[in-house]
Every structure is written in structure tokens, then in C-alpha cells.
Structure 1
Amino acid sequence: MTKAVATLSARRLFALCRKESFQIVRDPSSILIAFILPVLLLFVLGYAVNLDANHLRLGLLQQDQGAAAQRLVQTFSASAAFEVHRGESEAQLQALMQHGKLRGIVVIPSDFSSKLSAGKGAVLQVITDGSEPNTAQFVAAYVQGAWEVWLQGQARDHLLPATPSLSVKLRSWYNPSNISRNFLVPGSIAVVMTIIGALLTSLVVAREWERGTMEALLATPVTRAELLLSKIIPYYLLGMAAMLLCWLFAVYVMDVPFRGSFLGLFIMSTLFLGSALGLGLFLSTVLRTQFFAAQAALTAAFLPAM
């Protein structure tokens, strides 16, 4: 192998890369894998997979018409987390939740305002659908948040005795708005680049064996290093173009903020893509058939993401 590296010819390497580039242009599947498939996968992973719990359908039963209850209803209605549906009875709202039209129910009892005025503890009933535990937790957490906002307003307007309280200010690093797309899409790009890189090179050597051109290549003065590099360099450029396309799609179409060094992203993408291309080339060399190499590349690329 040392001799092969020592006798590396730039002229032969350029000729082999040129031959491989012609095969890429003549093979629509390579263009499809490099440019169409990444955008489709990123679109599906970015829009279909959404962990944000916005506009939760919340049933509201107001049995108390006092000022405190009215302000609590206004707090729920003003929250972007809820889509409030007023009900006439608890049975009506429960029927809607059983049919999946509501994610939770809040009941303001008839003695809500009177207990607050008397300085007693008021009770707010919250009913959630336990068949979807994650959504139920979201509903409970958002109701608790709206309740705390209402309590602050009550204390500020002196409708309730203002008592010293602990003020907690939350700050989320790297994703201040807590939008799931901002961390799902960058991870999806890594998954997409693993799949694309492995798929691109999983076919190149197997294709030479199936067409019977590998024997002709081995009969030429081409060294092993030149042959391997000629199979990697064109697909590396194609993969980096696909990465740039994914980056543009994520930043300018999906509004994912980009902070940091683009040079750092380029260097890390180079290392990451190189490993994916090497994996595909290894599978293509060992299996020698395009079908099995592609299947193995898909399996091996998906395993780290699972």
C-alpha cells in the first residue's frame, strides 16, 4: 500500500475522477440520491415530526361568573398554547374528549370567587386524557403556567394578598424559543447525510463488478489508492453539495437559526461525510452487487439514527 501511495499519479487520478463524473451525470439515480432525496427526507423529518404542543384543544366549563373567574378565563383564552372551547356542562365536554376533539378540560367551580374572597383555597379541576401521556403532561403543565400568570395578575391588581414569592427566570441555551424544529432539523441533516453518503458510494464498486469493467481497470497501471480516491472524490463533492442544499433549505425555508462558524460546519461535515462515504465504499467492495450493497447501506446508515 505504501508503494501505491508513493506512485500516486495526479494525471491518472484526474482521469479516473473524470470518468466517474461522467457516470454520475449519465446515471439519474446519483442525482436523485444527492439532491432530491435529501430535501424530501428533510421536509418529512422537519415538518411531520413536530414535538411542539401548540393550540391544544381545551374544554372550559365556567360555573362561576365572578370577576376572578372571568379573569382566569381571559388568561386561558389569551394563551397561545390553548384553543379554548366553552361548554355548557361537564358531560358535554367529557363526550367531546372521549371522541378525541378535546385534549383536556378545565372546570371552574361555582364557589371559586367566593372562596378566594373569603381567603380560602379555591379548587380548579383539570381533566386530561391519560391515553396520551405526553399530551396530558403538556396540558397539565400549560394549565399550571396559565394559573401562575393569573395569580401574578391577581396579586398585582390587589385582588389577592400579595405575598413574597420566588421569581424564576428560565433561559434555554441554543434554543431560546423552545421550538422542536430547531433541534430536530440539524439532527435530521446528520441522519440524511449518513444515508446519502453511504448510498452514493455503495453502488460504485459493485457497479464496476456487475458491468465487468473492474477487471479492465485492474489491468491498467492504476494503483489501489488512485482507484479508491477516484471513487470517493466525485461523490464527496456531490455529498457536500447535498449538505449545502440541506443547510440552505433548513435556514431559509424552515427558518432554523444558524449560529456559529460556517467553516467549522464545513470541516465537521467533511469528516462526517468521509466516514459515511467510506462505509458505503466498504459495503460495495465486499458485497459486489448493487442491490445488496444498497440494502446494506440503508440498514447501516439507519442504525445510528434509531
Structure 2
Amino acid sequence: MAAEPDFAVRHMHLRGLIRKEGLQILRDPSSIAIAFLMPIVLLLLFGYGVSLDANHVPIGFVTGVQTAQTQSLIGAFHHSRYIEPVRFQNMQAARAALMAHRIDAIVRLQDDFSARLLSRRPVDAQLIVNGVDANKARIVQGYVGAAVQGWLQQRERARGRDTALPVTLVPRIWFNSEVRSRDYLVPGLVAVIMTLIGALLTALVMAREWERGTLEALMVTPVTLREILIGKLLPYFILGMGGMTVSLVMALWLFDVPLRGSLIVLVLCSALFLLAALGMGLLISVIARNQFVAALVAIIATFLPAFLLSGFIFDINSMPVWLQWLTHLVAARYFVAILQTLFLAGDVWSVILPNALALAIMATFFIGVSRLRMSKRLE
């Protein structure tokens, strides 16, 4: 008979703590701004500002003698949305434009280009690429090579000749058929944003309680430590999921990123990741006990690793081996893999289940360690 009153009392304690935290959120709109305004701002900034696409790349063309063949070759580049041809009379003008970053590459055709081409002799064309941005330089090389190869094949077919190529490559792109970097970056960006939101929400809130001394006062009441943790985490979990909803809506309707997987799976995995992020923020606040220090540590220990080591922008397999092992400690790494799979490929369970399990383990670890750390500090 005593179990029912005890349950009712515990339920009343928990409801009171949740109501108290809800009123605190309404009095201090910074938490609402972090949960709803920050995702909008960051998605707009990163979604439109960060792009790995190279479209309309200005490339200079230097031709000594204007012929039908050189005009045809340059015209082939005009049909590509990736290249914007710019003509120069001589190499001096083209070099000056390259040095001034007005163009990204130079294609130089020899004076005897047409004569050699018509007599089917070997023809050399020089390509000079600005290699300051190594990634863009490789992309430009690929663009120019593909354009020239396509022009040669089309020219030979028009003459009724064999292209003399033993293998013809027919590309087929899976998962991101339009090859838009935004479709790849925006899902990863959602994980980075949710990392910052989850860590900051609990880090600042718990640290504020430490500074004001209200947490010690709360501990002398009949409420248990478990009720305090649930009462603190649940309201901010709801806020975090609201921020996740805003991010999802922007990804689907503003950035037009496809969602090929299950929405239910996405929500469940997002909940696991948010619990892990909240647990990290809670642990930081328990250790720091100061809002400024907690916010600084949350950014350094959660946001930066999520941005650099999650695979959001930089390929993990291209990193040194020791750094690849270190990425396994970053919760965002697992969530980025899940998001990119759900958005671009679908419900690939061989990817989703292991990463979801890793998130569940990390959430349990951080929340469990935070509870132990808090109990030791308040004894």
C-alpha cells in the first residue's frame, strides 16, 4: 500500500521540477534563442556560405591563330555550366589575370594546333592551373580534361570515324545524382548544430544553478538526484527536438535536400544523439560550475570536434590513422553517418544500427558519469 503514495509523491516532485524549469525557460529567453534561432542562423550561414561545388569557373584561353577548330573547342566549353571561358590575345595578359585571381586556369593552344589536328598528328595543349586551392585545382583539371575529351569524341563521330578509345566510360551517380555538395553538407550541418545546441543548453543551465546556489538548496529537499536530472534534462530535450524540427524543415523545404529514409528512424536517432549531447553538456556543467567556463568548454569540446572530426566536411578516411581512431570519441561522427545515409541513400540498416548503438552507449555513459560526478560533489 505504501508504493502507491510513494509513486504519487515522486510523480509530484518530478512534475514540479519540470514546471519550475519550464517557467525558468520562459523567464530567460536565451534558451529558446539557442534552440530555435541559432539553428536558423547557422543553417542560413553555412547552408548558403559553405559549398564544395565549383560552378562557372573562369578559365582563360590563349590561341595564337583563330581557326574553325580552335573556335569549336572553345565553344565546347561554353556549353558547360562548370566553366566560363575567357579569351586572351597573349600569355602575358592571361598570366596577369591568373595572378590577379580573375581566372583559375589557362588553356594554351599552339599556333599549329589546327594543322596538327587535321593531319591527325599528336597535338599538345598546355593547361596552367592555380594550385593555391588544391581541391579546386583538381576539380578544374577534371573539368578541362572531360570537356576536351568530349569535344574530340563528338568531332570524330561527326566525321564518321572511330574515336579509337577501347573503353568508353558511362558514369552513373548514386545517392546524389545532381552532385550538389549542399545535399551532402546540410545533413552533416544539422548534426553540428544539434551538438552545439544540446551541449550549450545543459551546460549553461546547470552552471547557472551552481553559480546562484539554487542546486545545493534543491538537494536538501526530499527530491532525489534522479528526479533532479530528469527534471533538468526533459525540458531541454523537448527544446532540442524542437530545434531539430526547425533544422529538418529548413533542410527539406528551403535547401531542397531529399529525405529517402524513414522519418521515424530519423526522429529516434535524433533523440539518441540529443541525449548524448545533453549528457556532454551536463557533464561539462557539473565540472565547470561557471557559465562562462562551461560555454567555452562546450564550444571547444563539442562544437569544434563535431565540425572537424565528424566527416561533415573532411573525409575521415583521408585523415591520419591516429586521428581516425580519435574520431570514434566524437558523437557527431555517428550522427553525421546516420543523417547522410537517411537523407541521401535511405534506410541502410548496416550503417544506421551500429551508429545508433554507439550513440545510445555514449548517451548512457555521459548521463551516468554526470550523475555520479554530481552525487560525489554534493555529499
If the length of structure 1 is used for normalisation, what is the TM-score? 0.93
Find out whether 1:104 has 2:105 as its counterpart: yes
**For residues 126-162 of structure 1, what are the alpha-carbon distances to aligned partners after superposition, in whole Å with 9 as ceiling and x for unaligned?**
1112333333222211100101110121122017544
CA distance in 2, matches of 1:118, 1:161: 16
Find out whether 1:300 has 2:301 as its counterpart: yes
The one-letter amino acid paired with 1:152 is: Q
**For residues 154-190 of structure 1, what are the alpha-carbon distances to aligned partners after superposition, in whole Å with 9 as ceiling and x for unaligned?**
1220175443531222233322222111111111111
CA distance in 1, matches of 2:12, 2:175: 47
Shift in alpha-carbon separation, 1:154–1:95, aligned structure 2, 3 A = same
- When structure 1 is superposed on structure 2, of 24-33 and 152-161 the one drifting more is 152-161
Shift of residue 216, structure 1, vs aligned partner? 2.9
The one-letter amino acid paired with 1:24 is: I
- When structure 1 is superposed on structure 2, of 62-71 and 100-109 the one drifting more is 62-71
Q: Is the 8 A contact 2:105 2:130 kept in 1?
A: yes
- 2:139 maps to 138
Q: Is the 8 A contact 2:77 2:147 kept in 1?
A: yes
The one-letter amino acid paired with 2:103 is: L
Shift of residue 109, structure 1, vs aligned partner? 2.0
For the residue of structure 1 that corresponds to 2:169, the secondary structure is: coil
Name stretches of at least 5 consecutive residues in structure 2 with no aligned partner.
1-5, 309-379
**For residues 52-84 of structure 1, what are the alpha-carbon distances to aligned partners after superposition, in whole Å with 9 as ceiling and x for unaligned?**
111111111233433332221110111111111
Shift in alpha-carbon separation, 1:297–1:132, aligned structure 2, 3 A = closer
For the residue of structure 2 that corresponds to 1:9, the secondary structure is: helix
- 2:44 maps to 43
- 2:197 maps to 196
For the residue of structure 2 that corresponds to 1:58, the secondary structure is: strand
Instruction: Report the aligned-residue RMSD.
Output: 1.9
- 1:3 maps to none
CA distance in 1, matches of 2:170, 2:265: 32
Shift in alpha-carbon separation, 1:206–1:131, aligned structure 2, 3 A = closer
**For residues 221-259 of structure 1, what are the alpha-carbon distances to aligned partners after superposition, in whole Å with 9 as ceiling and x for unaligned?**
211111100000000000000011011112211222221
- 1:32 maps to 33
The one-letter amino acid paired with 1:97 is: L
**For residues 33-60 of structure 1, what are the alpha-carbon distances to aligned partners after superposition, in whole Å with 9 as ceiling and x for unaligned?**
1111122222222222211111111111
Q: Is the 8 A contact 2:207 2:288 kept in 1?
A: yes
If the length of structure 2 is used for normalisation, what is the TM-score? 0.75
Shift of residue 12, structure 1, vs aligned partner? 1.7
- When structure 1 is superposed on structure 2, of 111-120 and 233-242 the one drifting more is 111-120
- 1:257 maps to 258
Find out whether 1:205 has 2:206 as its counterpart: yes
Shift in alpha-carbon separation, 1:58–1:293, aligned structure 2, 3 A = same
**For residues 67-105 of structure 1, what are the alpha-carbon distances to aligned partners after superposition, in whole Å with 9 as ceiling and x for unaligned?**
332221110111111111111112111111111111111
Instruction: Name which structure has the greater RCO, CA cutoff 8 Å, separation 6+.
Output: 1
Please identify runs of 4+ aligned residues in structure 1 that moved more than 6 A.
none
For the residue of structure 1 that corresponds to 2:253, the secondary structure is: helix
- 2:315 maps to none
The one-letter amino acid paired with 2:155 is: Q
Name stretches of at least 5 consecutive residues in structure 1 with no aligned partner.
1-5
Shift in alpha-carbon separation, 1:150–1:183, aligned structure 2, 3 A = same
CA distance in 1, matches of 2:161, 2:93: 32
**For residues 258-289 of structure 1, what are the alpha-carbon distances to aligned partners after superposition, in whole Å with 9 as ceiling and x for unaligned?**
21111110010000000000111122122222
For the residue of structure 2 that corresponds to 1:175, the secondary structure is: coil
Name the structure with the higher helix share: 2
CA distance in 2, matches of 1:125, 1:159: 28
Shift of residue 30, structure 1, vs aligned partner? 0.5
Shift in alpha-carbon separation, 1:103–1:160, aligned structure 2, 3 A = farther
For the residue of structure 1 that corresponds to 2:103, the secondary structure is: coil
CA distance in 2, matches of 1:264, 1:171: 28
